[in-house]
Amino acid sequence: MRLPAWKEQQITALMQCELSRKLPVARLAESAGLSVRHFSRAFRLATGRSPHRYLLELRLGKARALLLSPTVPLHEVALACGFADQSHFTRTFQAAEKLTPARWRRHHCVSDLSNQHNSGAAGVLVESHVPILQYPGGGIGDRGAHTLPLTDWTG
């Protein structure tokens, strides 16, 4: 048995709305009016993924979007995406992306910034400020945002 399109949309909308909360498959099955076993099978036939895998992919997608904002702390990203804590988020994210969330953020935020500035005229010095996260003791981390100038010759 396959989920009707309207039920699939209803379930995926519920998943989107409840990303930051614990969402057991039993609750999804109940909202579809099916047993857990029948729901899991029907959902997999409809989407090609288990309900758990689908929900995890939604959470990781939301996490990637939040990580593009350097002002959102990692523990807040973790909680907003429904992970138990930052450690759980980091393990899950690293398994999927092969980078920790902090490294993924640094790579993508700097890449996006340099792509924006590389469109300048040839031979023009471009300067911008890239957020560098530092501990109060001076080490790199996620407490207290500071900026350093990023100078780049384009051309």
Beta strands in the chain (DSSP E): 125-134, 140-153
Bigger pLDDT: 129 vs 45: 45
In terms of C-beta distances under 8 Å and separation of at least 24 residues, what long-range contacts does 17-23 make, across chains too? 18/82, 19/55, 19/58, 19/59, 19/62, 19/80, 19/81, 19/82, 20/79, 20/80, 20/81, 20/82, 21/82, 22/82, 23/55, 23/82
Q: Answer yes or no: is pLDDT of 17 > 80.
A: yes
Angle between helices 101-117 and 86-97 (to 10 degrees): 60
Q: Answer yes or no: is pLDDT of 71 > 80.
A: yes
Per-residue pLDDT band at 110 (split at 50, 70, 90)? low
Amino acid 58: pLDDT = 97
Domains along the sequence of the chain with CATH:
5-99 (1.10.10.60), 105-153 (no CATH)
Instruction: Write out pLDDT tens, residues 18-45.
Output: 999 999 999 999 999 999 999 999 999 9
Structure tokens at 43: 């959902």
Residue 2: HSE in the Cβ half-sphere, 13 Å Cα cutoff: 8
Calpha distance 87→107 (Å, rounded):
20
What backbone torsions phi and psi does residue 124 show, to the nearest 5 degrees?
-100, 135
Of these ranges, 3-7, 102-106, 130-134, the one predicted with the greatest mean pLDDT is 102-106
What percent of the chain shows pLDDT beyond 70? 70
What percent of the chain shows pLDDT beyond 90? 66
Find the angle CA(69)-CA(73)-CA(78) to the nearest 5 degrees.
100
Against a cut of 0.85, is the pTM above it? no
